[in-house]
Structure 1
Amino acid sequence: MSRYSVSRKGMGGRKPGEATKVVRLPLRVATIARRIAEGSLRPGDLNAFFNVEVRHTMTVPLMASPAACGFPSPADDYLDRPLDFNELLISNPSATFAVRISGDSMNGAGLFPGDIAIVDRSLSPFNGCVVLALIDGEFTIKRYRVKAGGIVLQAENKAFKDIVIPEDSAFEVWGVVKHAIRMF
């Protein structure tokens, strides 16, 4: 028997004729390899396998009193508990990602070109939320509206038309936009 063989019986999810190789692996490694081949890994499985901590905690001091944007107020001599941006922005780490915003269609919602949107894929869209959607292969960020005729993606800028989603279009909501980060 050669080192590489083609098996047609007991294929374990492989395509007929796909080359295989018999190797000895620790059961833990073999299980992960099998799940990779089957495509059954869930978000975070590889991180757990390699014992990788996804969350890197870094905090910054948070002042106990707000800073007035109008008339100056006296500063307090103490700080509140440290602020962890992971805790503030991310509720589900394995389902959260960021995307840079381009275009002006969402200016009325406070989303401007160059901002970074924090998107949570674990949340289902609801009427009035802001979503990252994929329409016929193109990404867009819009307000999600459920109307009698179906789904409408609403722009927050009068210069842009709303997008009515036809039933035959390739449409998918990739996640709900939870936060935006703006750099000056």
Structure 2
Amino acid sequence: MSNIVNLAELHTLVPVIWPVNPSPKAKESPLFLVKCPAGFPSPAADYVESGLDLNDYLVKHRAATFIFDVCGDSMCGVGIFDGDKIVVDRSIEARHGMIIVAILNGEHTIKRLHITRDGVELRPENPCYSPIRLKEHEELVAFGVVVGVVRKLQG
């Protein structure tokens, strides 16, 4: 059973909770007390606070949390890139301004939800794409709210 759900195959979704079977002895990565500057190294980098469990950090509602592969570049303006994995929480109510996984007329997309008196739009975070304005008789389902992004930089 896979831990990853391909966004393009969301219509065949059977609840896949990530991680499927987390180990009680899951490895933690060391968490440093200091911020990590992108410039010169800090002399305080030897001070380690405690371990960081990415499940605890990213997942608040385990039974309602899913991981999706991202394809495309419509959200690159907010740091969501092709090949990333997004953490989606279905237990959070989608509200104006939130980034969501939306199902619009059976098609799946990641966009920012924009709600006004004039209607609903799904807005990309890339100027190369236009907002998707909901029209009468179109069906929009907010599958869940994006609460995190995971990116592997190498390998």
Q: TM-score, normalised by structure 1?
A: 0.68
Contact 1:144–1:152 (CA under 8 A) maintained in structure 2: yes
Q: Secondary structure at the match of 2:102?
A: strand
Are 1:139 and 2:139 an aligned pair? no
> Which residue is equivalent to 2:62?
93
Amino acid across the alignment from 2:85: I
CA root-mean-square deviation: 1.8
User: Which deviations, in whole Å up to 9, do the C-alpha atoms of 1:50-89 show, x marking residues without a partner?
Assistant: xxx9543421211222222112221443310211111101
> Which residue is equivalent to 2:97?
128
- Structure 2 Cα separation of the partners of residues 125 and 64 of structure 1: 33
Amino acid across the alignment from 1:72: P
Q: Secondary structure at the match of 1:108?
A: helix
- Structure 2 Cα separation of the partners of residues 105 and 76 of structure 1: 36
Contact 1:54–1:93 (CA under 8 A) maintained in structure 2: no
User: Which deviations, in whole Å up to 9, do the C-alpha atoms of 1:107-129 show, x marking residues without a partner?
Assistant: 11111000001000001111111
- Structure 2 Cα separation of the partners of residues 79 and 119 of structure 1: 30
Q: TM-score, normalised by structure 2?
A: 0.80
Q: Which has the higher helix share?
A: 1
Are 1:77 and 2:46 an aligned pair? yes
Are 1:158 and 2:124 an aligned pair? no
> Which residue is equivalent to 2:136?
167
Q: Secondary structure at the match of 2:55?
A: helix
Amino acid across the alignment from 1:56: S
- Structure 2 Cα separation of the partners of residues 82 and 55 of structure 1: 16
Bigger relative contact order, structure 1 or 2, given CA contacts below 8 A and separation 6+? 2
How many residues get paired? Answer: 134
User: Which deviations, in whole Å up to 9, do the C-alpha atoms of 1:116-147 show, x marking residues without a partner?
Assistant: 01000001111111000001111000000101
What percent of counterpart residues are identical?
Answer: 37
